[in-house]
Amino acid sequence: MPPSLPTPVKHVFFSPARIWAIATNTLLELFRLKVFYFLLIFALLLIGSSAFMIDFSFQEQFQLLKDVSLGSMSIFTWLLAVLATAMLLPKDIEDRTLYTILAKPVPRFEYLVGKLLGVLLLLFISTVVMSALFAVALYGRQQVVIAETIRNYAGAHQDQLRDALRGIRESTFTFSLIPGIAIIYVKAALFAALTLFISTFASSTIFTIMVSIACYFIGHLQGIARDYWLGNAATGALPRIFLALVALIFPDLQLFNLVDDIVAGNSVPMLLFAKTAALGGLYACIYLLVAYFVFASKEL
Amino acid sequence: MAVAAVLLLFGLVRLPIENSLNAQYRDAFFHGAKLNLGLRQQIGQTAFLAALGGFRALVADGLWIQAHMDWSRTEWGKMLFIFNNVTALQPRNMMFWDMSAWHMAYNASVAALQDTTQPRLALRLKHQHEYFIIGRDLLERGIANNPDRYKLYESLANVLRDKLMDHYNAALQYAAASKFPDSPTYEARFAAYELSYSPGHEREAYNDLVRLYKMGEKEWLPTLFSRLKYLQETLNIPAAQRIKIPEDQLPHPPHPKPQPQPPRQ
């Protein structure tokens, strides 16, 4: 009797397990590149700014600490998204890993989704760690100010002390900080997808990074271009075409700049936050889709 | 070509969404900063680029620290220059408006009065008054940018009351602050007190103070009794209708009479 052959495994067109395997490998690869060292710089920034602010009033201290922390989070997540994503494809091509993966029955779309998911996981972990460090620094500063206030109000009426402490607590942790941080993550995710798209047709890593950074600055001016275009403020066909292209091709990144206003005391309506986050998600999906179009027709 | 078509199509689809989101954020008082060429010339190219790149809070903080250092050197003119830039970058930040106005109306004004390089008292007083006005103007601009919060109304009322002796307008600002649900309870009290110092508004002030008195013992504070006593005498309220003022509740020394108001510019 001839030996029985192993039952052939049916190839699944879309496999979350394969995507997850690529994503975790990408994350591991990025871990090995020691990208988390930037967290040390973030922690130093927090400690440095906390020590530097002793001369300021407590409102100023909280304000500066929040601005420095959230601003740094925004910069670091954006840089991480751009730099980590820009090197993914060129590195895989250089190491020949890409050919090994695509020689297996892994569709190119899954490969791209897996790579992007790996970067998104890295960004998520980074955002969570930075948020935790920020919360610890803010809590520590809050406790110092509370202790000082209790000392200063030693002989005062209980109502006055209660009002003062309420003022301090309201100046530190507000619920709006959570959507603010979430939007920082969404913006970084959008950039990861955009950079992945650029890297599918880029000739080098440096080109990808440069174009991505240019997109960042143009994206922050997109709103102005759109207002000028739609408001018929520009005269002449050429400027109007240029403004229309800027408005239609680049993302409006000002929509994702909520932290400045949140730190200033504005609270974000939840519906608006949800719409902004959904728009960010949609951007990421579209950039992933066009990245696939380019990558699918790329000769490797 | 297909990629460009998808991007343009997506651009057309998201255009109304982005417009609507922008409008909703504006209604929620977000994105109030106006970054223009004037600001570019004042804060420098790098800072302006950073502000355009979404880091205007960090740029504003950097300038604020600079102003703090200028404060230690008492360079009031330079501080005002920086305050104007900081508030232009972060118009929704209450602290910047509030502290800028405080520096001008309370610190710079005192420094102007004590300026040893200016021997003429009249000029020192003039300069002092100019700083009061700068403080008031900063707060008025702050309120125009933040009409939805009580804090700046209160700060403006404080400047009008303590520095410009404009009690009627101070009363109006305290009253405006008291309308916000999260404002402290003393706003309504201060509005009534300040109205009691405003010539020509004694009757409304008396009615407000009586209303406060009827709210119960929590409002029975020395200033309330002092102002009630003054208005009952000024308005010749019949003895039967007068509220009995406990003498031991009056403030010591008696509350000062209002100062004449300087002309409002």
pLDDT for position A245: 86
pLDDT band at B7 (very low <50, low <70, confident <90, very high): confident
Instruction: Please report the sign of the dihedral spanned by the C-alpha atoms of residue A59, residue A64, residue A65, residue A71.
Output: positive
- Work out the percent of chain B whose per-residue pLDDT is above 70: 85
Q: Residue A117: is its pLDDT beyond 90?
A: yes
pLDDT for position B136: 96
Is B93 within 8 Å of A64 when comparing Cβ atoms?
A: no
Partners of A264 on chain B (C-beta within 8 Å) are 57, 90, 92-94
Least confident of A3-12, A32-41, B130-139: A3-12
Q: Which residue of B has its CA nearest to A283?
A: B10
Mean pLDDT of chain A: 85
pLDDT for position B265: 45
Q: Residue B148: is its pLDDT beyond 50?
A: yes
Q: Give the residue from B19, B58, B68 with the most A CB atoms within 10 Å of its CB, the best one to mutate.
A: B58
Q: What one-character-per-residue DSSP string does A183-251 give?
A: HHHHHHHHHHHHHHHHHHH-SSHHHHHHHHHHHHHHHHHHHHHHHHHHTT-S-SHHHHHHHHHHHHHS-
How big is chain A by its Cα radius of gyration, in Å? 24
- How far B10 CA sits from the closest chain A CA (Å)? 8
- pLDDT, tens digit, for every residue of A76-106? 899 999 999 998 888 888 888 888 888 888 8
Q: Chain A contact for B55, CB < 8 A? A: yes
- pLDDT, tens digit, for every residue of B192-234? 999 999 988 888 989 988 888 888 778 788 888 888 888 888 8
Q: Of B17, B54, B90, which is closest to A264 when you measure between CB atoms?
A: B90
Over residues A229-247, the mean pLDDT reads 80
Domain limits of chain A?
A: 16-296
State how far the Cα of A136 lies from the Cα of A134, in Å rounded to an integer. 5
From the CB of residue A125, how many other CB atoms can be counted at a distance below 10 Å? 15
Report which of residues B2 and A139 the model is more confident about: A139
Partners of B10 on chain A (C-beta within 8 Å) are 286
State how far the Cα of A66 lies from the Cα of A13, in Å rounded to an integer. 47
- How far B261 CA sits from the closest chain A CA (Å)? 32
Q: Are A23 and A118 in contact (CB under 8 A)?
A: yes
Which amino acid is located at B244 in the chain? K
Mean pLDDT of chain B: 84
pTM score: 0.80
Q: Give the residue from A66, A230, A266 with the most B CB atoms within 10 Å of its CB, the best one to mutate.
A: A266
State how far the Cα of A223 lies from the Cα of A252, in Å rounded to an integer. 6
Partners of A253 on chain B (C-beta within 8 Å) are 54
End-to-end CA distance of chain A: 45
Q: Chain A contact for B21, CB < 8 A? A: yes
Most confident of A165-174, B49-58, B117-126, B248-257: B117-126
Least confident of A4-13, A121-130, A163-172, B237-246: A4-13
Partners of B92 on chain A (C-beta within 8 Å) are 260-261, 264-266
State how far the Cα of B180 lies from the Cα of B143, in Å rounded to an integer. 14
**B135: nearest Cα among B116, B114, B118, B110:** B110
Residue pairs between chains A and B whose CB atoms are closer than 8 Å: 120
Q: Residue A5: is its pLDDT beyond 70?
A: no
Phi, psi of A294 (to 5 degrees): -70, -45
What CA–CA distances, in Å, run from A208 to A199, A245, B149, B260? 5, 20, 45, 69
- Work out the percent of chain A whose per-residue pLDDT is above 70: 94
- Work out the percent of chain A whose per-residue pLDDT is above 90: 31
- pLDDT, tens digit, for every residue of A14-68? 788 889 999 999 999 888 888 778 777 887 877 777 766 767 787 788 888 888 8
Helices A177-201 and A205-230: angle between axes, nearest 10 degrees: 120
B66's tokens? 């600079």
**B161: nearest Cα among B200, B126, B187:** B187
- pLDDT, tens digit, for every residue of A119-167? 999 999 999 999 999 999 888 888 888 888 888 888 777 777 887 888 7
From the CB of residue B116, how many other CB atoms can be counted at a distance below 10 Å? 6
Q: Are A295 and B3 in contact (CB under 8 A)?
A: no
Q: Which residue of B has its CA nearest to A255?
A: B22
Q: Are B61 and A68 in contact (CB under 8 A)?
A: yes
Identify whether A3 is preceded by a cis peptide bond (ω within 30 of 0).
no
State how far the Cα of B115 lies from the Cα of B106, in Å rounded to an integer. 14
Helices A237-249 and B2-27: angle between axes, nearest 10 degrees: 80
State how far the Cα of B165 lies from the Cα of A246, in Å rounded to an integer. 54
pLDDT band at B2 (very low <50, low <70, confident <90, very high): confident
Instruction: Please report the sign of the dihedral spanned by the C-alpha atoms of residue B127, residue B130, residue B134, residue B136.
Output: positive
What does DSSP assign to residue B242? S
Partners of B60 on chain A (C-beta within 8 Å) are 67
- pLDDT, tens digit, for every residue of B35-65? 566 666 666 666 676 777 778 888 888 889 8
Q: Are A256 and A187 in contact (CB under 8 A)?
A: yes
Q: Residue B31: is its pLDDT beyond 70?
A: no
pLDDT band at B250 (very low <50, low <70, confident <90, very high): low
A122's tokens? 């890295």
Helices A177-201 and A270-296: angle between axes, nearest 10 degrees: 10
What does DSSP assign to residue B103? I
Phi, psi of B231 (to 5 degrees): -75, -35
Partners of A57 on chain B (C-beta within 8 Å) are 99
Most confident of A179-193, A223-237, B30-44, B180-194: A179-193
pLDDT for position B37: 60
Over residues B114-143, the mean pLDDT reads 92
Q: Residue A240: is its pLDDT beyond 90?
A: no
Buried b (16+ CB within 10 A) or exposed e, B69-80: ebbeeeebeebb
pLDDT band at B158 (very low <50, low <70, confident <90, very high): very high
State how far the Cα of B198 lies from the Cα of B85, in Å rounded to an integer. 36
The continuous run of DSSP H or E covering B176 comes out as helix B167-178
What 3-state class would DSSP assign to B236?
Answer: coil
> What is the Cα B87 distance to its own chain's centre?
13
- pLDDT, tens digit, for every residue of B48-107? 767 777 788 888 888 898 998 898 888 999 999 999 989 988 888 889 999 999 999 999
Instruction: Please report the sign of the dihedral spanned by the C-alpha atoms of residue A295, residue B1, residue B6, residue B12.
Output: positive
